Amino acid sequence: MAVRSTEVLVSGASVAGPTLAWWLHRHGFTPTVVERTPALRAGLGGHAVDLFGPAVDVAEWMGLLSQVQAARTQTELVVLERPGRRPIEVDVSGLVAGISARHVEIMRGELTSILYEATRGDVEYRFGDSIRSLDEDGDGVEVTFEHGPPRRFGLVVGADGLHSNVRRLVFGDEAPFRHYLGGYLGVFTLPNYRGLQGRMVAWSAPGRTVAMYPVRQTGEARALFLFRAAEELHHDHTDLEAQKRLLRQAFSERTWELPRILAALDGAPDFYFDSITQIRMPSWSRGRVTLVGDAGYSPAPAVGGGTVVAVVGAYVLAGELRAAGGDHSRAFHGYERAMGELVRRSRGIGPTTMKTLIPATPRQVWLTNQALRLIPRLPGMLQRRLWAFQARPARALEAVDLGRYREPAGA
Ligand SMILES: Cc1cc2nc3c(=O)[nH]c(=O)nc-3n(C[C@H](O)[C@H](O)[C@H](O)COP(=O)(O)OP(=O)(O)OC[C@H]3O[C@@H](n4cnc5c(N)ncnc54)[C@H](O)[C@@H]3O)c2cc1C
């Protein structure tokens, strides 16, 4: 049975998926979103993510910017604590001014909730399910699911993250597409026992950094652990206890708040552990299937840029599908061409950010601390220039021109 290319299955309901669904619906397509988790992740789940310049524009064009701004984390200050020494305080607005004049930090779960609420009336969501197989023929894709009945779609888009299921089904194992940046991250929720409000506290040693920040809507806090490892660690990705052991081994000394924070790890309601790895694919479309966001071109978690490319990628893909008038080959080609430069630039962010975020040697820790201490004391113009220099790869994301996708055909 022929199926129209306007019927699009999107796998993943986090950032890229619902953003794509919103724009597809706006352009006259019929998106269906399938999400593995049984319900939308609790509104405040996940971690703090950053929307910069072009992603803020997209949120504004969706009419969601005021909601996004109202939900922002309101973390204004980073305090680098050094046991026995004076802490170093850094204004977040100064740090991000070097990247973009437009910035909103928001919990990823909050952003997802806003996007879901904006689409749920027009888009079919199927929670608690996952694609089992994709079988493409001349005029459509036959899809089977883990739970629901099989269905046919015109196009399928994988918006299912770093370890994308759609990528695996269409392009095979993720190993050839992984590019390890030399570190790991762990995140979990804990009580806000320090009573943090509007500030993040952090501790750093060569090759290791920990930050704790408040989630103002819940009164809880999140701890983020980052550490360098020259080689990838071999561990079972489904074994949470083994991952917790690795984190404890990497942060075994009894200093700062480490013992107290790590004591909260066992009782944590959530725990995310992964390598800091990019996804690099020469092309992320095949036939009637394409990828968007982390699934196709993650610039690596926690080191910046992922949410911007996910939002912009979703917007551009929908725009190219509209412009191609149903010709998916032309649309996917246009989408990859339009995103290519942005994706390449986003890959420069992680390695640069890691130098400041996880200084590798005692000398680098010292240099980073000096910079953090001194730059805020310089005149405003010089400060902005220095931050901008340090943030050059992230700043490059500003350059993308999104204007041409703005108006629907015939509008
Ligand atoms: C700890 C941490 C900190 C981060 N910090 C930042 C930051 O400061 N700034 C920044 O810009 N970015 C940051 N990121 C990255 C950012 O979260 C991602 O780049 C962004 O969320 C990408 O969105 P996405 O929709 O492409 O993928 P994801 O947000 O990963 O969403 C994928 C979705 O697909 C679903 N899914 C997975 N498998 C299946 C399946 N088989 N079937 C159906 N659904 C499935 C998942 O449940 C999820 O809902 C961070 C990431 C992490 C992990």
Length of the chain (residues) = 411
d(CA 251, CA 271): 16
Task: Say what the pLDDT of residue 155 is.
Answer: 97
For the chain, 411 residues long, the average pLDDT of each consecutive 10-residue run is 79 98 97 93 73 93 96 91 91 74 90 96 97 94 97 97 98 97 96 95 95 93 96 86 95 94 94 96 97 98 91 96 92 95 91 90 89 73 64 69 67 46
Measured between alpha carbons, how far is 328 from 331 in angstroms, rounded to an integer? 5
- What residues pair up with 79 in beta bridges, in sequence order? 89, 201
C-alpha to C-alpha distance for 252 and 262, rounded to whole angstroms = 9
Question: Closest Cα to atom 4, ligand 1: which residue?
Answer: 302
| Distance (Å) from CA 14 to ligand 1 centroid | 6
Q: Which atom of ligand 1 is nearest to the CA of 165?
A: 41
Tokens of 302: 């926690």
- 160 CA: nearest ligand 1 atom: 34
309 lines ligand 1 (CB under 6 A): no
- Say what the pLDDT of residue 326 is: 78
Q: Is residue 133 within 8 Å of 9, Cβ to Cβ?
A: no
Give the pLDDT of residue 410. Answer: 45
DSSP string, 346-411: HTTHHHHHHHHHS--SHHHHHHHHHHHHHGGGS-HHHHHHHHHHHTHHHHGGGG---GGGSSPTT-
Q: What is the pLDDT of residue 291?
A: 98
Whose C-alpha lies nearest to ligand 1, atom 8? 49
- Residue 222 has what pLDDT? 95
Please give the pLDDT value at position 304. Answer: 82
> Is 185 close to ligand 1, i.e. is its CB under 6 Å away?
yes
Residue 25 Cβ inside 6 Å of ligand 1? The answer reads no
Q: Whose CA is closest to atom 53 on ligand 1?
A: 301
Closest to 285 measured CA to CA, from 259, 239, 320, 251:
320
Ligand 1 geometric centre to CA of 47 (Å) = 10
Cα-to-centroid distance, 294 and ligand 1 (Å): 7
Pocket test for ligand 1, best of 112, 307, 316 (most atoms within 8 A of CB): 307
pTM: 0.94
Q: Widest CA span of the chain, in angstroms?
A: 72
- Which amino acid type is present at position 121? G
Mutate to test the pocket of ligand 1, among 40, 47, 73 (most ligand atoms within 8 A of CB): 47
